[in-house]
């Protein structure tokens, strides 16, 4: 019976992703982000409980990937779709040709351009499938994990809807920049890029230098930048991993 405890937690992740999908399609990105955060929280604890209870199974692994595809794959695709719709002034579901005057400024102002956002979902599915088959990703990651990518995309969507800073809004309301973010997201998900994992085998500083430094810098960003810290933390994670990889190569 205890083997169903981690599976039950995984299903909670899946349900959070389903609920987030509904809110994301209704352009309520804040509520969608809350449920995605809850899903990622459950995603962390299902593996933890599986290890603690020593009930890891192939079924749990497959179920975990399915839940992640919804919470961290489908939802960020929808969020980027909504952001592109807003930037282009279109709504594919209501009126495929109801352009705002401002949308005429863009050569790519076509309602179906927004559908390119779901390349993020496709890239997430590919990353999850590769992760299941890749034996190298036990203590570290190869490519940006889908939860981290989901947090990045959804945080940008929430910032776009809530920011009062003009230049930030203009950046996140530019379809060219959004398409570039989409392409970069797809690349980073599946790039042969080693990234450190926040898995502590011990809580000492030695051997965990990069993890403690990352957590300390992240806390500083959270207290100083508030919501704007979220995409900055994801960028910091990638940059610190690149620096750590280069330093490791030099020390060999």
Least confident of 17-21, 90-94, 195-199: 90-94
State residue 214's pLDDT score: 93
Q: Cβ atoms within 10 A of the Cβ of 160, count?
A: 20
* This prediction's pTM: 0.88
Length of the chain in terms of residues written: 252
- Going 225 to 227 to 228 to 233, the CA torsion angle's sign is positive
**How far is residue 120's CA from residue 26's CA, in Å, rounded to a whole number?**
19
- Going 50 to 53 to 57 to 63, the CA torsion angle's sign is negative
Contact 116, 179 (CB under 8 A): yes
State residue 184's pLDDT score: 97
**DSSP 3-state of 243:** helix
* pLDDT greater than 90 at residue 22: yes
Residue owning tokens 């993020």: 120
Chain segment 46-91, per-residue pLDDT in tens:
776 666 666 667 676 788 889 999 999 999 999 999 999 888 877 6
Fold of domain 4-192: 1.20.120
10 Å CB burial of residue 198 (0-12, 13-18, 19+) is exposed
Domain coordinates of the chain in residue numbers?
A: 4-192, 197-252
Q: Which of 185, 124, 119, 190 is nearest to 152 (CA)?
A: 185
Task: Tell me the pairing of strands 140-142 and 194-196.
Answer: antiparallel
Average pLDDT estimate for 88-104? 56
């Amino acid at each position: 019976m205890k083997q169903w405890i981690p599976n039950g937690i995984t299903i909670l992740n899946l349900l959070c992703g389903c609920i987030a999908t509904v809110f994301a399609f209704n352009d309520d990105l804040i509520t969608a982000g809350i449920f995605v955060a809850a899903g990622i929280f459950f995603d962390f604890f299902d593996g933890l409980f599986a290890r603690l209870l020593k009930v890891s199974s192939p079924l749990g692994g497959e179920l975990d990937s399915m839940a992640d595809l919804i919470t961290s794959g489908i939802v960020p695709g929808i969020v980027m779709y909504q952001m592109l719709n807003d930037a282009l002034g279109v709504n594919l579901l209501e009126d495929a040709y109801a352009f705002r005057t401002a949308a005429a400024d863009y050569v790519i102002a076509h309602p179906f351009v927004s559908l390119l956002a779901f390349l993020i979902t496709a890239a997430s599915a590919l990353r999850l499938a590769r992760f299941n088959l890749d034996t190298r990703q036990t203590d570290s990651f190869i490519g940006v994990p889908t939860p981290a990518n989901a947090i990045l995309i959804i945080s940008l969507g929430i910032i776009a809807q809530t920011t009062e800073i003009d230049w930030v809004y203009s950046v996140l309301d530019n379809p060219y920049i959004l398409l570039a973010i989409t392409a970069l997201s797809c690349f980073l998900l599946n790039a042969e890029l080693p990234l450190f994992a926040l898995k502590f085998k011990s809580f000492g500083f030695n051997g965990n230098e990069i993890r403690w430094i990352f957590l300390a810098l992240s806390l500083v960003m959270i207290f100083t930048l508030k919501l704007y810290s979220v995409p900055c933390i994801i960028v910091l994670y990638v940059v610190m991993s690149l620096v750590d990889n280069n330093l490791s190569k030099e020390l060999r």
